[in-house]
């Protein structure tokens, strides 16, 4: 009980989508098979884009959960279970990454030792870009994500039954360790799977750029799922104050994403080094130029003006619509990062992209809803729950 109210379980429209998402995942998998048969290289590029998007959602959720524990936050207790369920998908993202490992020769020019030896710029990077080290690194990444994602979820759910306040302290201690692993692993995953698609190019800010996009995507997803959960059994546990704070965090982190993106562009433009400027050259020709010009407007300017409003952040339906818009922009941003390496002439959105989004997204949401249905919708054993339910951020 919390404030005399029964602890809710997921019900209603969201709970009923489980089989629908599974069906979409199967349909998407069939489409991926057809796309693979038509054009292997384009398929793997599309699959990598969709995989990076849904991985970013889970990584951003894991970061959110650990930061809330470290900050001893009380306002976020009720929305934290949704992020825990999303972070729990990291163990399954390792399974969904198998097609990527099968497509490595099609994705990376440096994978072939002969080609790497013939290219001086790749050859001097072989201390890092080599097959055994690449595999070892990725095993470490997914092992760390699986461990911390499962640990955060399992301990929180266990506290629902035990009501042991010591669990809260343990979660904070594990989060301190987890944030360190998270910072390193997500940075190097971005280097390995996105930046290394063009082994001639490099940017020390790229890991932070990927992180910023992942956190923005996570807040969009968290707001959307919290709104849905409020309609599906949790109306008394998700109030306007929680959404207002999530809206402020989304606004702030999207500004941070813009700052990192502009800083990376400005430094590369100012230095004017060929090995660095090639990245923006590929994205300044054909239809990629249009995408490059639209991203600052659609990912930053429009959301900035929209989310700046105090009233928007307190009107849940409008905030959810704005979050959906920005979530689409997060995918387009990853598409802009990955696809020009394979389609220099312009954007090439086709069957492989659609199938990969539906396939990975269907399985991701199926596992997310299934996990959320199996436990309390909120962390009922957290000692800060009562404080969360009466939370008021002081803004009328």
Amino acid 31: pLDDT: 98
Instruction: Give tens-digit pLDDT for 21-75.
Output: 999 999 999 999 999 999 999 999 999 999 999 999 999 999 999 999 999 999 9
Sign of the alpha-carbon dihedral angle for 260, 254, 147, 21: negative
Radius of gyration of the chain (CA): 21
Amino acid 267: pLDDT: 93
Eight-state DSSP code of residue 124 = T
Amino acid 55: pLDDT: 98
Instruction: Give tens-digit pLDDT for 161-213.
Output: 999 999 999 999 999 999 999 999 999 999 999 999 999 998 999 999 999 99
Closest CA to 58 of 232, 248, 225, 177: 225
Beta carbons within 8 Å of 302's beta carbon, 6+ residues apart: 325
Lowest mean pLDDT among 109-123, 246-260, 276-290, 377-391: 109-123
Higher pLDDT, 332 or 122: 332
Residue 244 burial (CB count, 10 A): 21
| Banded pLDDT at 1 (limits 50, 70, 90) | very low
Instruction: Give tens-digit pLDDT for 267-312.
Output: 999 989 888 899 999 999 999 999 999 999 999 999 999 999 999 9
**pLDDT > 70 in the chain, percent:** 97
Whether the Cβ atoms of residue 295 and residue 336 lie closer than 8 Å to each other = yes
Calpha distance 68→50 (Å, rounded): 27
Q: To 10 degrees, what angle do helices 316-338 and 240-271 make?
A: 30
Calpha distance 375→156 (Å, rounded): 10
Amino acid 2: pLDDT: 52
Closest CA to 61 of 233, 232, 186: 186
pLDDT above 50 for 316: yes
pTM of the predicted model as reported, rounded to 2 decimal places: 0.96
Burial 179-196 (b: 16+ CB within 10 A, else e): bebbeebbbbbbbbbbbb
pLDDT above 70 for 4: no
Burial of 290 (0-12, 13-18, 19+ CB in 10 A): exposed
Burial 28-66 (b: 16+ CB within 10 A, else e): bbebbeebbeebeebbbbbbbbbbbbbbbbbbbbbbbbb
Whether the Cβ atoms of residue 225 and residue 369 lie closer than 8 Å to each other = no
Amino acid 251: pLDDT: 98
Calpha distance 106→54 (Å, rounded): 21
Burial 92-116 (b: 16+ CB within 10 A, else e): bbbebbebbeebeebbbbbbeeeeb
């Amino acid at each position: 009980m919390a404030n005399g109210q029964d602890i809710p379980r997921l019900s209603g429209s969201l709970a009923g989508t489980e089989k629908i998402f599974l069906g979409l995942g199967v349909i998407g998998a069939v489409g991926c098979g057809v796309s693979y048969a038509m054009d292997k290289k384009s398929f793997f590029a599309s699959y990598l884009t969709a995989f990076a998007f849904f991985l970013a959602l889970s990584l951003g959720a894991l970061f959110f959960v650990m930061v809330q524990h470290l900050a001893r936050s009380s306002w976020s207790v009720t929305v934290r279970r949704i992020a825990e369920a999303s972070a729990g998908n990291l163990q399954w993202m390792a399974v969904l990454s198998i097609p990527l490992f099968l497509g490595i020769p099609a994705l990376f020019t440096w994978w072939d030792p002969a080609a790497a030896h013939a290219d001086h710029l790749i050859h001097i990077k072989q201390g890092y870009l080599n097959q055994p080290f690449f595999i070892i690194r990725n095993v470490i990444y997914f092992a760390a994500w699986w461990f911390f994602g499962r640990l955060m979820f399992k301990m929180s759910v266990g506290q629902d039954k035990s009501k042991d306040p010591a669990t809260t302290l343990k979660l904070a201690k594990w989060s301190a360790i987890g944030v360190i692993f998270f910072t390193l692993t997500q940075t190097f995953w971005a280097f390995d799977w996105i930046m290394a698609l063009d082994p001639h190019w490099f940017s020390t800010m790229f890991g932070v750029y990927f992180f910023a996009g992942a956190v923005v995507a996570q807040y969009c997803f968290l707001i959307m799922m919290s709104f849905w959960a409020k309609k599906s059994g949790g109306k008394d546990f998700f109030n306007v104050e929680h959404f207002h704070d999530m809206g402020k965090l989304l606004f702030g982190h999207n500004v941070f994403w813009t700052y990192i993106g502009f800083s990376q562009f400005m430094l590369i433009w100012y230095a004017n080094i060929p090995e660095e400027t090639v990245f923006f050259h590929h994205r300044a020709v054909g239809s990629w130029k249009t995408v490059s010009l639209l991203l600052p407007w659609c990912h930053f300017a429009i959301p900035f003006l929209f989310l700046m409003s105090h009233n928007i952040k307190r009107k849940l339906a409008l905030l959810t619509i704005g979050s959906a818009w920005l979530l689409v922009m997060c995918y387009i941003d990853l598409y802009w990062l990955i696809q020009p390496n394979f389609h220099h002439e312009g954007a090439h959105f086709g069957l492989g992209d659609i199938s990969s989004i539906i396939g990975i997204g269907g399985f991701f949401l199926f596992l997310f809803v299934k996990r959320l249905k199996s436990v309390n919708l909120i962390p009922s054993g957290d000692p800060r729950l009562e404080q969360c339910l009466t939370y008021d951020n002081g803004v009328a």
